[in-house]
Amino acid sequence: MAFGFYKSQVEPNSPTTIVLPTTASETYKVGELLKLASGKLTKASGTDTPAFVSQADYAAPATGNKGIQVTQINHDQWWIAPLQASGASLKVGDKVTVHTDGLQVTATTTDGVAEIIEIDGTAVGDTVKVRF
Its domain, for residue 61, covers 8-72
Q: Domain count of the chain?
A: 1
Within a domain: 129: no
99-112 burial code (b ≥16 CB/10 A, e <16): beebbbbbbbeeeb
Helix, strand counts (H, E) of the chain: 0, 12
Residues in the chain: 132
User: Which whole-number Å values give the CA distances from 77 to 5, 22, 27, 117, 123, in the listed order?
Assistant: 8, 24, 25, 11, 24
Within a domain: 124: no
What pTM value is reported for the model?
A: 0.94
User: Could you read off the pLDDT of 28-43 as tens digits, one per residue?
Assistant: 999 999 999 999 999 9
Within a domain: 126: no
User: Could you read off the pLDDT of 85-108 as tens digits, one per residue?
Assistant: 999 999 999 999 999 999 999 999
